[in-house]
Amino acid sequence: MENEGQLTSPRPGARRHTVNSQLSSAGLPVSQAASTDVDPFHSVLQSPVQEHRPLQPPFDFEQTSEHSSEPEHQPEADRANSDDSLATVIPPPASGLRFLRVPTIPVLGKNVFKCAVAYFLASLFTFSPYLSGFLSDIASAGPGGTGPSPTGHLVASITIYYNPAKTMGGMMEADTYSSISFFYAAFVSLGSMSMFWALEVRPGWEWLADVLVILWIGIGMWGLAWMKVWMAKPTFNGACHMSAISLFLVIIKEGSWDTLMQVSSVVLIGTLISNFVCFVLWPQSATESLQLNMIKTLDSFATLLGMLTNTFLLEEPIRQPSQDKIHKAVENHQASFTSLKNNLAEAKSEWFSGLRGRGGKASRQAYEDAVDSLTRLAQHLNGLRSGTRLQYELAKAHSEGRLTLKRRDQTNGKGRVPSGYTTPMSKRTFSNGGFDVRDDADEILLQAAADMFGDLVDDLGPPLKALSRACTASLKRLREAFAQSQHVQREAPFQPHDFHVLIDEIERALFAFESTSNHAVMRLYRRNDFSSHSVRGSFDSLQENTVKSENEHIFLLYFFIFTLQEFSGEIISLTDAMRRIYALEQLRADTPSWFTRYIVHGPSLLMSAVRLRRLSFPKVQPHAPNTIQTPHPANLTFIGRIKRGLWDFGTTLREPKVKYAFKVGMSTAVLAAPAFFDATRPIFTEYKGEWALISFFVVMSPTIGATNFFSIHRVLGTLFGAGVAAGAYSFFPHNPIMLSIIGFFFSMPCFYYIIAAPIYATTGRFVLLTYNLTCLYSYNLRQADVSVLEIAFQRAAAVIVGVLWAAIVSRFWWPAEARRELSRELGDFCLNIGWLYTYLVAANSGMHDATDDTDEDEPAANTPDEATPLLPKSVKAKLSKSIQEFMAMELHLQRKLIELQGLLAQTQHEPRLKGPFPILLYRAILTSLQTILDKLHSMRCVTTREEWITSVRKDFILPVNKERREMVGNIILYFSTLASAFRLKAPLPPYLPPAEKSRERLVDAIRKLDVVRNRDVRASRQLLFFAYALTMKGVTQELDYLGRTLQEVFGVIGQSPDDFEALFVERGGGIDAAHAV
């Protein structure tokens, strides 16, 4: 599912208070950082962790849309907001000519007007005698039909499901899916009716005919529901709905080929109207929408990069971005994980002016590379955010008055503070030759970190800001290049060689930054006097801890430095892709003959699928394959393999998607059964039971929460639409002009909610459908003895029956509660992220064999220097492939987190007898998992560098393999324990895996190495594994927080962790520190 979001939250200040109140009432640990108010941006909820956890970044890359169970129109909503980006790209006219400017219609207004026009044109097949007669001639298979067509209102219904608020590529894609759905509906309809009439005419076989047609409906809807949930694509969902309409109308009428053609002609007319309006009235190119989305993404990346750089350097920006710009940047960053792929898929479907006609394969490859680079940049921004932990500790201490930050005078260079920072301790009085008693070890360590960071910033600040400026300028210039390719040329057009200039600027800034950072870190690492002058004398007992803390903070900065280098390198790749796109766009402007390409190559590209590279994790199954309990088929006999095949088939049928589809199909057949029994068929046809079937199919969702949400909106929308339709027809019963005008204006607010507010799209669609089925059908019927109120009542009754049946089926037939699905998916996510960590460890451990794989054509290595490649070409290729695989896995988990936010949003619509579902608690859990994923990305940036293979493994990993094995094993065990707790909801053990203590033992073992104690390190990059081991603390902290939280949520075996620890307390003594949980 695309673009799933989470629930709308209250204002930021109140949100923190609400979360802390809920967690406190539940007895859960609440972060001290969560209560501080140093957050200058007040964005979204932050993860509550243990007391010693550092302050989190000032903004959180989380999606904030309220509901996600209605994804069909999210792309339209995204495009509706794209005019904001255009407004920032196109300069406003001169102030003296403003009164002459034609008002610009926003994209949202254009889309709503297009939908209203399409609905108006479709309604003319009801209100226009000529068009209504045309439909009547089709229904009677020739001219001479009597009266208006009773199916004229269906044309307008089709334009509601198949609205023209799409790009041309999206409409072409929808046309393809509609063609597939037509053939599917034709197959099911003709197959069922052929069997039905073959047996219905035979006396005594009527019961078998009824049973077979009901089975046909059940199996046919089973397949349709499975395809709908398997594709999970907005355009395909609309095609499924239209296929269901055609299928129900044909089968319920017990029609044959003629009935199918009549219904199909009505559907075809509706789709043609939507296509006509889409392509003629303000046509929107999917490629241009992709470019606009890329423009918004580039702009958000430039904003966030500047903010993160200023945060890292603890500097106030010269020009503070507005709150609205910050929120838009965060939302665009989150949307970039899904929306860019959707836009790219639609752009590939455009034959005329899309990627199929813009340079062919070269253009598609260039756009794919650009979208992939933007996605990786979004991942790197998450890593940059997780690398600013020390800065938020310093900012928190500054806001609490425990630390005074004094920066260099940036105007005249005077008043420079050597260390960069001082603390209020220098102003305090001394007693007994020491500090005041209020000073504690934490402030001492924080002072040491401030001094160290100040010295590092003095050296690292200028090249870091230069690199950040180069990257930000490149992002903005690339944004301008896209804007130029779509709009009129400016006075200073963007030239192709400018791309090479951008690459050269980034490479120069990156080289200077790498050299400076290497020397700066090595200088701090090798200095003998690590402690600050203010911490000498009275605090000799803290010297060792201060030194260790300083060393640790050095490596905390490593991750931001290396991730920024990865970010800069990825911008170079993005610039190269943009250069190719720009050249192809310029070539396209000089080559207008697309018609030949379309005629020659179009048919061969009709059904080519969009190939999205997805890396599937090992599926989490109760029965792991190739084990003693589930042996490999090759080890079984022939009969055993047959049994194993049957068992595998049964396992497939037990999958949630298959069970959901089977439930929908069979329950639809049960609801349709009264249409084929003589006793109930009159009532079924009188109340138009086919619309109960359609309502049921549209409302049924995989979870109870989503079904309840749709059901409520379906009923309310039906009642409101029926009331408006009854009133309009009562005032103007025989006035087609007024009725068509009322329908046109009434459809506008409905289409507005359908397009711009996805959470209320269901309500808007159902309101308009009911209005259409009541008002337009009444005008078609025009019978004096049939009141419009009666028709409205029948429509409302049919819809309510379908909704009630959906509520009953979803609740009592294989119920799938959103909260249970959330727990199960959280368990799978913990296992998958544990598998991701295992893959990272395996990749780092197994690369030693690659060093023996050298290219024969490469000359023998002499004394290495700065220009000597660290790795042969073959090993570089393996390393690059490993990086791509890891980032693909990480992207999969990032999208899975978005899906989990959607499941969390659905839980509020499910009744719960034991109290409301703790939404804020689970949102905090998702935030913690997001933090772990971000930190793993930062570690990947460090541990997949070439230096890791050449020197780090030999000098740092092999000597401490025992301690490293213990840490890795405890972390994997932690992920497995959390996964089991989420899946089983069973009490956790009182003693959780000591991941943090094993990490500390690994760090101590590394500190005892001769290469570390003697400062015998030739380059800062050889300290990568030390940085990796130290910064794993962020992961273990999050694991400890999740473990303690789940202990409070699900309970503990026994009574509590404290009771467990009390079992090992000696009389008259305290508990051993090694036993702490």
**Residue 541 contacts by C-beta under 8 Å, 6 or more apart in sequence?**
none
Predicted TM-score of the model (pTM): 0.71
Pairwise CA distance, residues 992 & 1060, whole Å? 12
Buried b (16+ CB within 10 A) or exposed e, 438-474: ebeeebbbbbbbbbbbbbbbbbbbebbbbbbebbbeb
CA–CA dist 1075, 698 (Å, integer) = 56
Residue 808, CA distances (Å) to 674, 725, 762 in order: 18, 29, 20
The pair of three-digit structure tokens given for residue 996, joined into one six-digit string? 């943090």
- What's the pLDDT at 199? 82
Q: Which CATH class is domain 818-853+869-1075?
A: mainly alpha
Structure tokens at 100: 């002459």
Please state, in angstroms and rounded to a whole number, the distance separating the CA atoms of residues 589 and 691: 50
Higher pLDDT, 840 or 878: 840
How do residues 506-547 score in pLDDT, each as one tens digit?
Answer: 888 888 887 777 777 667 666 544 333 333 433 444 445 544
Interval 593-610 mean pLDDT: 38
Separation of alpha carbons 580 and 454, rounded Å: 43
Q: Where along the chain do its domains lie? A: 108-283+655-812, 286-349+357-424+439-601, 613-654, 818-853+869-1075
Express as a percent the part of the chain with pLDDT over 70. 64
Match 């949102």 to its residue by tokens.
923
SS3 call for 434 = strand
Tell me what the mean pLDDT of segment 330-356 comes to: 68
Q: Residues 6 or more apart from 162 whose CB is under 8 A from it?
A: 174, 178, 238, 242, 270, 271, 274
Q: Which of 237, 232, 153, 220 is nearest to 185 (CA)?
A: 220
Angle (CA) 644-646-651 rounded to 5° is: 90
Most confident range (mean pLDDT) of 303-317, 855-869, 981-995 is 981-995
pLDDT at 583: 75
Question: What pLDDT is recorded for position 979?
Answer: 92
- pLDDT tens digits, 88-112: 444 444 444 444 455 678 888 888 9
Instruction: Average the pLDDT over 893-911 and give the result.
Output: 86
CA neighbor of 263 nearest in space, from 247, 285, 284: 247
Q: How confident is the model at residue 440 (pLDDT cuts 50, 70, 90)?
A: low
3-state helix, strand, coil in the chain (%, to 5): 70, 0, 30
- Averaged over 1063-1067, what is the pLDDT? 76
Q: What is the torsional sign of CA 499, 293, 567, 832?
A: negative
Q: Which residue has the higher pLDDT, 398 or 817?
A: 817
pLDDT tens digits, one per residue of 271-294: 999 999 988 888 888 777 888 888
Q: Which of 236, 261, 235 is nearest to 250 (CA)?
A: 261
- Please give the pLDDT value at position 546: 46
Look over the chain and give the mean of its residue pLDDT values, rounded to a whole number: 72
- Structure token digits, residue 713: 């909106």
pLDDT at 368: 83
Mean pLDDT (whole number) for 462-472: 85
CB neighbours of 216 closer than 8 A, spacing ≥ 6? 188, 191, 192, 195, 251
Task: Decide if pLDDT at 973 tops 90.
Answer: yes
pLDDT digits (tens, 9 = 90+) for 50-62: 333 433 444 444 4
